A and B are shown apart, each in its own frame.
Chain A
Amino acid sequence: MVAKRSSSDGKAPSRRRKARQPLSDGPDWTFDLLEQYESEIDRIATDFKLDIYPNQIEIITAEQMMDAYASVGMPINYTHWSYGKKFIQTEQSYRRGQMGLAYEIVINSDPCISYLMEENTITMQALVMAHACYGHNSFFKGNYLFQTWTDASSIIDYLVFAKNYVTQCEEKYGVSEVESIMDSCHALMNYGVDRYKRPQKISIQEERERQKEREQYLQSQVNDLWRTLPKTKASDKKSRKRFPPEPQENILYFIEKNAPLLEPWQRELVRIVRKVSQYFYPQKQTQVMNEGWACFWHYHILNRLYDEGRVTDKFIMEFLHSHTNVVAQPNYNSPYYSGINPYALGFNMFMDIKRICTNPTKEDKYWHPDIAGSDWLETVHFAMRNFKDESFISQFLSPKLIRDFRFFAIEDDMKESYLKIASIHNEEGYQDVREKLSAQYNLSNLEPNIQVYDVDVRGNRALTLRYVPQNDIPLADSANEVMKHLHRLWGFNVTLEQVDEDNEVKLIAACPNVIESSKNTTVTI
């Protein structure tokens, strides 16, 4: 589609040209030129009804970009060795030329901060501004997951608070103490979110005011829970109620509130990691949509600029070259293949929605009766606001796109000695491919389902987690290491059980490691 467009432009570029003088196509950029481009892009974005946070655009060097990479894209973050490791890795692979750096990084904050690399040509800067400062920015502001889970206006403040708090703790209790708690929290970082509850938004004022109060209150709660430990006989155990009464998926929250031995400041550190991980929770679930949306808009905005004669042929050719690279999808047997390119899938899906709206076929009317022939701008905005990757794909992936991508589903069962093709891009396969592709972006399929199941409140305070496998997929060996971290936080024995399909429960990991000893049945402590 992209290639076709550029060749037809090549035939009659002069006819499109309006009287207005096009903007300079560089290749070098200046701040004046950036501002001119930005205001042009802004004008068109307003036409397309993109609602954005105010932009704060920062020009940085490659080295600063690597800094930004290391602190998970945040302009400020607490200090931790793992970020140093990340930085060293990035720097190594960048120096050896194994990897290029991103053209930009954009932060979900209000004002929306975008980093542009100084090495970019003016074309790339324009592309990146349209992509990040208008595409991603409007996605952050509009999408329901971001609205629910993040508070753009307070994230920077919160990170400042977190950084200072961690530094204070390091001064008070020593770097190693803090580091070990942070390590343990990072190991459980993916288990710091209540998926089905509305989270509280983080706000700096409240954090500061309540933090002291919370410390004392939390500690008193914990003390209360463990205060009296009446002697009970073993027979009572069977009849006792489980604690927690319902399994808890938010392990970090459970630890923050209930771990018996943590100091108040340690609970606060758990909370910080939990809150930061919550901030990234929507990003994990909207990668395809977010990138697709941003590509869709940089494509439209820059093409509109060209149609108006505001940019030169040279500019648009360079842009199309980059754009085509970004949204390319190598086939499964290509040496460049590394899974489905979220840029390609997202961009093509939004383009396809536009196509279904403006130019529906009979098939589209059958598969997408609700949007076929409707106003495309309204529809893409609706899609952007109300979906995440999983639901977006199951709602909008059209048969035509499945055919274009020639998607096929492979069923890989360890019990069999072969792989099976479950469905391909044909009439009977569309539904199945769409379902399976959608499931591929379902976070609960990506992350093992592990929940806090029980605490032996009246006994040895042992904490039991349960893993419920999907499709018999086992946990990787790293679970043993993670259990050590969990043990550090909990302070008493921790065990991890697996519940199989036939409701059979087996112990798969524990810390201190009792699996060995229970097998021998000689040592039992």
Chain B
Amino acid sequence: MNFSTFMSFVSYLKDGISLGAVYAIIALGYTMVYGIAKMLNFAHGDVIMVGAYISLTMMTKTGAPPVVALLVAIVGCTLLGVTIEFVAYRPLRKASSPLAVLITAIGVSYLLQNLALKIFGAGPESIRDEQKIISGSPVVLFNGQLAISRITILIVICIIIIMCALTWFVNRTRRGHAMLAVSEDRDAAQLMGVNVNGTISLTFAIGSALAAVAGVLLFSAYPSLTPYTGSMPGIKAFVAAVFGGIGSIPGAMIGGILLGIIENLAKAYIPSGSQVSDAIVFAVLIFVLLIRPAGLFGKNIQEKV
């Protein structure tokens, strides 16, 4: 392997990490909500889209700087997430089948997409350099053989900070312990005096705030925003969460990054791989689940019948 083919490999790897980091940041939201509320929030990807639209609208309509727009998007998405939980999911928590809330989540997803379609239209919107949360020319290394965009660096830093903060929060704070308790056994937690509804609301608030951050980062990295922007990365992130072990915070991050790397290396080294990269990603997922049914970092819990 000569130096330049090695450098292209490094370059593919780096792009895989940058793509995977986007999946990971979305997967964190999925995995938090699943781990604690035990439901798949399929509307998560669309909350991301709403976050991106809020920040863009703030910047174009009021001229707010990107950081202010991000904060507004975080507040907006948090309110949205808590409202969705209160209106659409909470009444169904006692429903006989867990499918009810799953189908509702799909309904919420379509509702958000169609509302965005009505308000913002179907045409793609873009973002200017000065409106991005970080801008500037890419960092170029090895005489131009390796270029890393600033947004990639920022996403990777963000994901590490968020993962550490979440792990600390869940394991070291009272609220976090309440989450673990609800996750372990909801009824027992309630008997021990844990406010289950409040805890689940908090989980949705955190998950949706993360969605806003993910939305702004995603839109800065891939500047094309339509009402359907959130759905594809949402699905990939769900896969990443399952891959890493759904419910596990480090698992979501590792799963997301591995997914991005596998996808990009498949595109790069398998003939006509760019057309079948998704199939390859899913094949790897099936393989991992055959060996470790709970995912890479998932806990294998015995269900009592």
Bound together:
no
